[in-house]
């Protein structure tokens, strides 16, 4: 079984992923895969430098993610360029992990699950939902300014649309215990 977990920035996907892991699932975070590629994949780093300029890399540390984020989240064409460079490698990484352990139960956190039409590559989809003000507040606590948070959120498919497309929706508007209870209920249905 492979579950595709999605939601908006700041919705609590990573928190839910940890809850699934606690419930016995193998878990992968596509954002973590991206971070690894940007830090250590020479082919990806070189391709990004070619498209965004050599100043986008930090010697021996890979791509400067903050600088890259400022560029791509203010320009949809450049964001698409970056996605086109990264997403095939990210998809290959999680599909390889799943194929190497075919009997395991998997949850793959895929922020752009529906945007990249990956829902047919998983058995079920789960969306973590929070309202816009909650998303912005959480991102601000992570050090992302309000304007940048809103710009990033608005570059993604509206969370309401993701919730409508998902097989299951988890509401992350209450306490951690409320969210955990929803995950436990969902696990009894899978």
pLDDT confidence of residue 156: 82
Please check whether the domain covering 34-104 is classified as CATH 3.40.50.300. Answer: yes
> CATH topology of 1-25+105-190 equal to that of 34-104?
yes
* pLDDT tens readout for residues 123-161: 999 999 999 989 889 888 988 889 888 877 887 889 999
CA 48, CA 67: separation in Å to the nearest integer? 12
Task: Identify the band that residue 168 occupies on the pLDDT scale cut at 50, 70 and 90.
Answer: very high
CA 46, CA 66: separation in Å to the nearest integer? 17
Beta bridge partners of 125: 4
Q: What is the mean pLDDT of residues 32-58?
A: 92
Q: What is the mean pLDDT of residues 65-77?
A: 86
Q: Rounded mean pLDDT of the chain? A: 92
Q: What is the mean pLDDT of residues 3-25?
A: 94
For the question of whether the overall pTM of this predicted structure is more than 0.85, the answer is: yes
pLDDT confidence of residue 145: 87
pLDDT beyond 90 at 104: yes
Query: What percent of the chain has a predicted confidence (pLDDT) above 70?
Result: 100
pLDDT confidence of residue 93: 95
CA 56, CA 167: separation in Å to the nearest integer? 39
Q: What is the mean pLDDT of residues 96-112?
A: 94
The answer to whether 162 and 127 are in contact (CB under 8 A) is yes
Q: What is the mean pLDDT of residues 91-110?
A: 95
pLDDT confidence of residue 74: 79
pLDDT beyond 80 at 190: no
Domain coordinates in residue numbering, the chain? 1-25+105-190, 34-104
CA 139, CA 120: separation in Å to the nearest integer? 30
Burial class (CB in 10 A: 0-12, 13-18, 19+), 34: buried
Task: Identify the band that residue 75 occupies on the pLDDT scale cut at 50, 70 and 90.
Answer: confident
Superfamily of domain 1-25+105-190: P-loop containing nucleotide triphosphate hydrolases (3.40.50.300)
């Amino acid at each position: 079984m492979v579950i595709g977990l999605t939601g908006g920035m700041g919705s609590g996907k990573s928190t839910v992923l940890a809850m699934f892991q606690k419930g016995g699932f193998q878990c992968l975070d596509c954002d973590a895969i991206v971070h690894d590629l940007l830090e250590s994949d020479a082919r990806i780093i070189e391709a990004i430098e070619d498209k965004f300029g050599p100043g986008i890399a930090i010697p021996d540390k890979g791509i400067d993610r903050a600088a890259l984020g400022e560029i791509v989240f203010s320009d949809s064409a450049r964001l698409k360029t970056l996605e086109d460079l990264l997403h095939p490698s990210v998809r290959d990484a999680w599909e390889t992990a799943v194929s190497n352990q075919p009997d395991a139960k998997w949850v793959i956190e895929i922020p752009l699950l529906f945007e990249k039409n990956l829902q047919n590559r998983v058995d079920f989809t789960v969306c973590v939902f929070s309202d816009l003000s909650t998303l912005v507040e959480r991102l601000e606590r992570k050090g992302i300014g309000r304007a940048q948070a809103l710009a990033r959120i608005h570059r993604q498919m509206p969370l309401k649309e993701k919730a409508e497309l998902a097989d299951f929706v988890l509401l992350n508007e209450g306490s951690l215990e409320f969210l955990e209870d929803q995950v436990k209920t969902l696990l009894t249905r899978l």
